[in-house]
């Protein structure tokens, strides 16, 4: 709401709401005080709201990217109070920030004067805010969001006691966990903290105990600052502002060429870069560029910047031009010296640059699969960010396994009307996805036994998770018995990976599932 009104996109008065696509259509995501006074709440369907209230409601579409950019600008402004500023993440609804004033409050005349000055400047800028000062980040968030007043200052060591009377929503939990706690009659943090930890962990998971301990100060909560002090940064100003993509790319190349000797001197390369563009009217635009391996080549960095600008297009919004362009190395990695005068690039450089280029073009990091310590196919792999060098935490793929399908379904899809000549043998015909498939060739079986040591925990987790998760676990998950897998080729040429879930029993044939597709 504040962003819309400060930008002149919304009227100063009148019930105002922001809506985004959700289950069943548009739903409210944010409200101004006048809309809240009408009894509206975030999450309500927009159609039902319009039918219920009798006054005109002005609705704007949600723009998460613009909201995030506005929050980052506010964080950079708050850096004038302390060097460590961290924006709220999704768990805190991404609508505020932490400022670590330890060691910096005396510059403003003490903690009380710092809070008063911060509140006054925000009020003059027409930015409504609730401020809490505490020695624990989790406690400060809880008091700022759910405290009795808009300005709370807790003496050192008093945050744990101050949050005990706050609702459990102040612990930054997901809505499902909050609903489960309230169904049990647990509405306050103090009530929750008085219970035995073992049953809470079994019922709601470790995340609940982590958030509880962070709120009362039993576990540390390191902040992720917006920017660490950049040891490697460069900037260039322009008397005549620039706005063309070619000029921005050329400037990024020149700035990286300025940083490269310093990085080479210290034997490191850039794994993360931030290009900061300062517009003539004071708007700051920051572009973060992640790399899969250390890099200090100006040409490659310029190519990645060009791809990023291509993807932004008109969304970059140069306005009347950029008067300052800055490039900072935010993440570094070891990059030892290597032979370069023979013109031979090390193996893997081309793949690494391709991965970085695709990440800039697609707008999200690339993922790859790594092995997990499980022989159940749907549990045997996990995604992790692609990197040129495989992290030590990723297990290598075992080399003794039979061929695996190129496409593995998250859970087996039921094969119906299965006909097999031998009860324990491969199928000869089956129906899958509303089509009848006749098997021309089959290989197998490969028997994969159930992980018996997981079964008791899996059953209790399903009982605690509720009916929705229990339903999901029953679809194609099998009965916990051994599976016999077959690689079959249908007469139409399709190659599938099927398994029989357990043996046949008198009067109850075993269930069959299709689990994957071969190339």
307 and 443 fall within a common domain:
no
pLDDT above 60 (res 177): yes
- Which of 323, 338, 353 finishes a domain? 338
Give the pLDDT score at 491: 93
135 and 201 fall within a common domain:
yes
Percent of the chain at pLDDT exceeding 70: 89
Asked which of 222-226, 320-324, 376-380, 433-437 is least confident by mean pLDDT, the reply is: 222-226
Percent of the chain at pLDDT exceeding 90: 30
Count Cβ atoms within 10 A of the Cβ of residue 31 and give its class: 0-12 exposed, 13-18 middle, 19 or more buried.
buried
170 and 197 fall within a common domain:
yes
Tell me if 6 sits within 8 A of 66, measured CB to CB.
no
Give the pLDDT score at 314: 80
pLDDT above 70 (res 476): no
Asked which of 81-90, 150-159, 279-288, 340-349 is least confident by mean pLDDT, the reply is: 340-349
Mean residue pLDDT of the chain comes to 83
Give the pLDDT score at 469: 33
Query: What count of other Cβ atoms lies within 10 Å of the Cβ of residue 392?
Result: 6
Q: What are phi and psi of 483, to 5 degrees?
A: -110, 140
- What's the token pair of residue 107? 């510059």
Tell me if 17 sits within 8 A of 57, measured CB to CB.
yes
Tell me if 77 sits within 8 A of 13, measured CB to CB.
no
Give the pLDDT score at 392: 56
Under DSSP, the state recorded for 90 is G
Q: Any idea which residue has 């102040």 for tokens?
A: 170
pLDDT above 60 (res 457): no
pLDDT above 60 (res 49): yes
Tell me if 500 sits within 8 A of 512, measured CB to CB.
yes
How far is it, in rounded angstroms, from Cα 233 to Cα 320?
Answer: 25
pLDDT above 50 (res 234): yes
> Any residues with CB less than 8 A from the CB of 307 and at least 6 apart, and which?
357, 360, 361
Q: Tens digits of per-residue pLDDT, 122-166?
A: 988 888 899 999 999 999 999 999 998 889 999 988 989 999 999
Res. 342 pLDDT band, cuts 50 70 90: low
Query: What count of other Cβ atoms lies within 10 Å of the Cβ of residue 212?
Result: 22
Q: 372 by DSSP, 3-state: which?
A: coil
pLDDT above 90 (res 327): yes
| Of 240 and 306, the one with more pLDDT | 306
Give the pLDDT score at 366: 75
Q: Tens digits of per-residue pLDDT, 79-125?
A: 888 888 888 887 888 788 999 988 888 888 888 999 999 999 998 88
In a domain, 343, yes or no: no
β-bridge mates for residue 277, sequence order: 285, 325
| Of 355 and 444, the one with more pLDDT | 444
For range 181-199, the mean pLDDT: 91
99 and 203 fall within a common domain:
yes
For range 307-312, the mean pLDDT: 88
47 and 83 fall within a common domain:
no
CATH of the domain at 331: 3.30.1490.100
- Give the CA distances from residue 219 to residues 136, 160, 198, 337, 348, in Å, rounded to whole numbers and listed in that order: 10, 12, 17, 41, 41
In a domain, 358, yes or no: no
Tell me if 232 sits within 8 A of 262, measured CB to CB.
yes
Give the pLDDT score at 512: 94
pLDDT above 80 (res 174): yes
Q: Give the pairing type, strands 233-242 and 97-100.
A: unpaired
Alpha helix stretches (DSSP H) within 266-312: 298-312
In a domain, 133, yes or no: yes
- What's the token pair of residue 368? 């790859």
Give the pLDDT score at 206: 85
Asked which of 156-165, 217-226, 496-505 is least confident by mean pLDDT, the reply is: 217-226
Question: In total, how many domains does the chain have?
Answer: 4
pLDDT above 90 (res 498): yes
Q: Tens digits of per-residue pLDDT, 359-381?
A: 787 777 777 777 777 888 888 88
| Of 182 and 362, the one with more pLDDT | 182
pLDDT above 70 (res 271): yes
In a domain, 286, yes or no: yes
In a domain, 399, yes or no: no
pLDDT above 60 (res 473): no
Find which of 3-12, 285-294, 297-306, 415-424 is predicted with most confidence, using mean pLDDT: 297-306
Tell me if 329 sits within 8 A of 232, measured CB to CB.
yes
Helices (H) and strands (E) in the chain, counts: 16, 19
| Of 475 and 432, the one with more pLDDT | 432
Q: Any idea which residue has 């098997």 for tokens?
A: 439
Asked which of 59-73, 197-211, 387-401 is least confident by mean pLDDT, the reply is: 387-401
71 and 179 fall within a common domain:
yes
174 and 310 fall within a common domain:
no
Give the pLDDT score at 302: 93
In a domain, 402, yes or no: no
Give the pLDDT score at 89: 81
- Which of 28, 62, 96 finishes a domain? 62
114 and 212 fall within a common domain:
yes
- Which of 21, 47, 62 finishes a domain? 62
- Give the CA distances from residue 392 to residues 383, 387, 389, in Å, rounded to whole numbers and listed in that order: 15, 11, 9
Q: What is the DSSP string of 428-467?
A: SEEEETTEEEEEEEEEEEEEE---GGGHHHHHHHHHHH-H
Res. 395 pLDDT band, cuts 50 70 90: low
50 and 108 fall within a common domain:
no
pLDDT above 80 (res 179): yes
Q: Give the pairing type, strands 511-517 and 495-501.
A: antiparallel
Tell me if 376 sits within 8 A of 448, measured CB to CB.
yes
In a domain, 21, yes or no: yes
pTM: 0.47
127 and 209 fall within a common domain:
yes
- Give the CA distances from residue 104 to residues 73, 76, 101, 108, 135, in Å, rounded to whole numbers and listed in that order: 21, 16, 5, 8, 14
> Any residues with CB less than 8 A from the CB of 156 and at least 6 apart, and which?
135
93 and 171 fall within a common domain:
yes
Structural domain range at position 205: 66-216
In a domain, 347, yes or no: no
Tell me if 154 sits within 8 A of 143, measured CB to CB.
yes
pLDDT above 70 (res 471): no
73 and 125 fall within a common domain:
yes
């Amino acid at each position: 709401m504040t962003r819309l009104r400060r930008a002149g996109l919304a009227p100063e008065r009148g019930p105002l709401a922001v809506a985004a696509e959700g289950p069943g259509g548009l739903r409210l995501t944010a409200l101004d005080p006048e809309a809240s006074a009408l009894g509206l709440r975030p999450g309500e369907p927009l159609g039902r709201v319009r039918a219920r209230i009798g006054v005109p409601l002005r609705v704007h579409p949600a723009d998460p990217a613009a909201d995030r950019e506005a929050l980052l600008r506010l964080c950079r402004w708050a850096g004038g109070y302390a060097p460590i500023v961290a924006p709220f993440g999704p768990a805190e609804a991404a609508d505020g920030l932490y400022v670590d004033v330890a060691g910096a409050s005396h510059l403003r005349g003490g903690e009380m004067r710092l809070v008063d000055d911060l509140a006054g400047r925000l009020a003059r800028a027409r930015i409504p805010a609730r401020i809490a000062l505490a020695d624990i980040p989790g406690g400060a968030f809880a008091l700022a969001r759910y405290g009795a007043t808009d300005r709370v200052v807790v003496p050192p060591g008093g945050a744990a006691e101050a949050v005990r009377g706050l609702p459990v929503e102040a612990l930054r939990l997901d809505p499902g966990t909050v609903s489960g706690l309230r169904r049990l009659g647990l509405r306050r943090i103090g009530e929750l903290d008085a219970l035995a930890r073992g049953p809470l962990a079994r019922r709601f998971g470790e995340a609940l105990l982590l958030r509880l301990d962070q709120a009362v100060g039993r576990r540390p909560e390191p902040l992720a600052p917006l920017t660490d002090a950049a040891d490697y940064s460069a900037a260039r100003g322009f008397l005549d502002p620039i706005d063309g993509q070619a000029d921005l790319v050329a400037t990024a190349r020149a700035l990286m060429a300025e940083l490269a000797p310093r990085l080479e001197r210290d034997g490191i390369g850039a794994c993360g870069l931030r290009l900061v563009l300062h517009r003539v009217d004071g708007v700051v635009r920051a572009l973060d560029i992640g790399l899969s391996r250390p890099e200090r080549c100006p040409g490659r960095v310029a190519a990645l910047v060009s791809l990023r600008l291509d993807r932004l297009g008109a969304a970059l919004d140069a306005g009347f031009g950029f008067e300052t362009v800055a490039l900072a190395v935010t993440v570094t990695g070891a990059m030892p010296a290597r032979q370069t005068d023979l013109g031979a690039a090390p193996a893997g450089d081309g793949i690494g640059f391709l991965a970085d280029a695709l990440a800039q073009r697609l707008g999200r990091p690339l993922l790859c699969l790594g092995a997990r310590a499980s022989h159940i196919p749907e549990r045997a792999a996990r995604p992790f960010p692609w990197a040129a060098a495989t992290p030590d935490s990723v297990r290598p793929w075992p080399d003794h396994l039979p061929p695996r399908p190129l496409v593995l379904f998250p859970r087996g899809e039921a094969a119906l009307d299965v006909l097999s000549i031998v009860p324990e043998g491969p199928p000869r015909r089956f129906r899958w996805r509303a089509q009848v498939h006749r098997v021309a060739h089959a290989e197998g079986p490969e028997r994969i036994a159930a992980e018996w040591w997981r079964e008791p925990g899996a059953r209790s987790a399903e009982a605690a998770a509720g009916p929705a998760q229990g339903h999901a676990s029953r679809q194609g998950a099998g009965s916990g018995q051994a599976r016999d897998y077959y690689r079959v080729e249908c007469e139409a040429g399709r190659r599938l990976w099927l398994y029989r879930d357990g043996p046949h029993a008198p009067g109850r044939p075993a269930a069959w599932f299709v689990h994957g597709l071969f190339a």
